Amino acid sequence: MVASEDTLKQVMADVLGVEARAIGENTSVDTLPAWDSLNHMKLVLALESEFDIAFSGEESVQILSYPLIRAVLAERGVVFV
Instruction: Tell me the whole-structure pTM to 2 decimals.
Output: 0.94
> 8 with 1: CB under 8 angstroms?
no
- Model confidence pLDDT, tens digit, residues 25-79: 999 999 999 999 999 999 999 999 999 999 999 999 999 999 999 999 999 999 9
Pairing of β 2-3 and β 79-80: parallel
Domains: count for the chain: 1
Domain range spanning residue 44?
2-80
59's enclosing H/E stretch is helix 57-62
In sequence order, what are the residues at sequence separation of 6 or more whose Cβ sits closer than 8 angstroms to the Cβ of residue 27? 12, 65, 66
Residue type, 38: L
CATH number for position 39: 1.10.1200.10
